[in-house]
Structure 1
Amino acid sequence: MWVLAVTVYFIMACAVSWMVLFPAGREFVLSALAGAGVRLGRRAGALAQQGMRDADAVRTNGRAAAGRLAGFVRRHWIACACGAALVCLPPLAALLLAERPVLSGYEPSTHAVNEQVADLLQGEQLVPPPPLPPLVFATAEVAQERPLLASASRDWAMLNADYTQRLLTVFRIMKERYGYDMAILEGYRSAARQDALAALGPGVTNARSWQSWHQYGLAADCAFVRDGRLVISEKDPWAMRGYQLYGQVAESVGLTWGGRWKMMDFGHTELRLPGVMKR
């Protein structure tokens, strides 16, 4: 191997010496480089001319095709107009007559309302609990579970009155029967906030503006309070048991529970009043 290396080095040294010491060597190298440059230039020029010829051919063929199409339309304009109408009118009519889309996977609740609970709903008017300190909703743990929760509305006055009484009834039953204190995380939600949450991805919400009952004051997201702290994650066995009870109680008062959806939302309930959200 070293013999080959020495041989190659010797040949290269001789070639460099020939080019440096002898004018003929330099002229030979310069001539070779100039010849290569000329050949490359000719090749580039030929490619450019071929590209121009191809472009001209495409333009010519395009003009010819456009002319043939225009001639066909002029000769058969009635048939073309009828065909365009047949193609465009059905989707246009469907677009104009279609009502606002609603996301799939939100099956209506078929649970009957408990008569005892119904009697309770007809009784006293329940009062919302005192609001929790804002810092409770701004911890790092809460922000990880519910993005942008600190800026959410928890104003009971912005919710539908019927829905408010049903949800407060659920709160009372959860406290008196099962020992769970509950708090509202978010009630009314503006259309702009709904779109902002949807922009965070399907892990937050799939619903765009006016596709959620939050915009109508007929939905709320709730969680549990333990030792003065919010417990949202269903990974907590105590909270998961609470969500199951919460869903049962909510359905018993005629609310729809998000825990039965394909994209489960255990803390969510809504009251689907007819004629409010167009489907």
Structure 2
Amino acid sequence: MLIFIAFLYFCLACSAIWLVVFPSGREFVAQIVSGRWSRIDQRLSSLHQVGVREVAELRHGTGRLLSRQLKFARRNALWLGAGLLAIIVPMVVVLTVGKPDALPGYESADLPPDPKVLALLAGENLAPPAALPPMAFSTREVELVRPMLVTASRNWGMLHPDFHQRLLMAFKIMREKHGYEMALLEGYRSPDRQNLLASIGAQVTNARAFQSWHQYGLAADCAFWRDGKLIISEKDPWAMRGYRLYGEVAESLGLTWGGRWTMMDFGHTELRVKGVMRK
């Protein structure tokens, strides 16, 4: 989207400079306004019929026109330079300052990370927890809340290394400080799976392929593990308290928490990296 806006601006700026600075641009507009375009078309048709001599004269005339334009450019170098800057500077600003697009309802709160918590990550190389039994993800209770979860990827190695460590640190803090054992429900998600989930309906997701940070290994859906069961339901007061604490911990680590979105997703966290979702 940003590239399209920059290209559109480039075309408009070039057209404006051509009309304002170059006499040929003003002449072109004048010819259209005065109804002379049809005569220009007739002239071009006649040139096609007259043969080599007329074509040679046309080339000679073009050379003289080019020479005049070069002289004009040298005389107006300052104005042309200013016009060039007017084209380039806004394009550079749009392409470098812009943020990755977020779907409506999924905007980030942009909360600053806690420097003290981030310091804990320095030199850390946390190991993923032991994998949960596959049957834990296929119970009726889980299917009602998260359909098709049994086929989701929970491979920590497919997550972005930076996000990987921040998420593990969040798990560690939740366990040691708040007494909640966290479980990874889904990390990396293929484009085909993303489209399949989106086809189920907005109650699952309205993000299609490459509109989700899951496709880049920069997002994860998590829940809680208690008494040998996954606790996902937001109707459970104990789980809702855990989600709130999880959101605070995740944001202190520089992650975006889905609980602040209009379309709330309490177990979702992501690490937004500039330039990733600009494709």
In structure 1, runs of 5+ residues without a counterpart are 1-75, 80-98
Aligned-residue offset at 1:106: 1.9
Q: Which structure has the greater CA radius of gyration? A: 1
**Equivalent residue of 1:199, what SS?**
helix
CA distance in 1, matches of 2:111, 2:256: 9
- Find runs of 4+ consecutive structure 1 residues off by over 2 angstroms: 99-102
Q: Hey, what's the Cα distance between the residues in 2 that align with 1:277 and 1:110?
A: 17
Would you say the 8 A contact 1:174–1:181 is kept in 2?
Answer: yes
What CA distance in whole angstroms lies between the structure 2 residues aligned with 1:169 and 1:192?
Answer: 30
Q: 1:137 to 1:251 in 2, by over 3 A?
A: same
* Aligned partner of residue 259 in structure 1, secondary structure: helix
2:193 equivalent in structure 1: 193
Letter matched to residue 143 of structure 1: E
Q: Which has the higher contact order (CA 8 A, sep 6+)?
A: 2
Give TM-score, length-normalised by structure 2.
Answer: 0.64
Aligned match of 2:217: 217
Please name the residue that 2:169 is paired with: 169
Q: What's the CA shift for 1:105?
A: 1.9
Aligned to 1:269: 269
The 5 A counterparts of 1:44-63 are none
Residues 109 and 251 in structure 1, CA contact (< 8 A), matched pair in contact too? no
Partners of 1:211 and 1:217 lie apart in 2 by 13
Task: Report the counterpart of residue 253 of structure 1 in structure 2.
Answer: 253
1:198 and 1:124 map into 2 onto residues whose CA distance is 36
Matched residue of 1:249: which SS? helix
1: CA distance between counterparts of 2:264 and 2:249?
17
1:233: Cα distance to partner? 0.5
How far, CA to CA, are the matches of 2:201 and 2:100 in structure 1?
A: 21
SS in 2 for 1:275: coil
What are the equivalent positions in structure 2 for 1:234-249 lying under 5 Å apart?
A: 234-249=234-249
**Alpha-carbon shift at residue 114 of structure 1 (Å):** 1.1
Partner of 1:206: 206
Q: Identify the residue that residue 141 of structure 1 maps to in structure 2.
A: 141
CA distance in 1, matches of 2:109, 2:103: 16
- Name 2:60's counterpart in structure 1: none
Deviations 1:128-175 (A, max 9, x none): 000000000011110111000000000000000000000000000000
1:170 maps to amino acid: A
Structure 1 position 101, deviation (Å)? 6.3
Indicate the SS of the match to 1:223.
strand
Residue 9 of structure 1 is matched in structure 2 by none
1:109 CA drift (Å): 2.8
Aligned residue number for residue 57 of structure 2:
none
The alpha-carbon deviation at position 104 of structure 1 amounts to: 1.3
| Identity of matched residues, % | 62
Aligned position for 1:228: 228
- Normalized against structure 1, the TM-score is what? 0.64
Matched residue of 2:200: which SS? coil
Deviation at residue 234 of structure 1 after TM alignment? 0.8
- Secondary structure of the structure 2 residue equivalent to 1:221: strand
Letter in 2 for 1:149: L
- The answer for unaligned runs of 5 or more in structure 2 is 1-34, 39-98
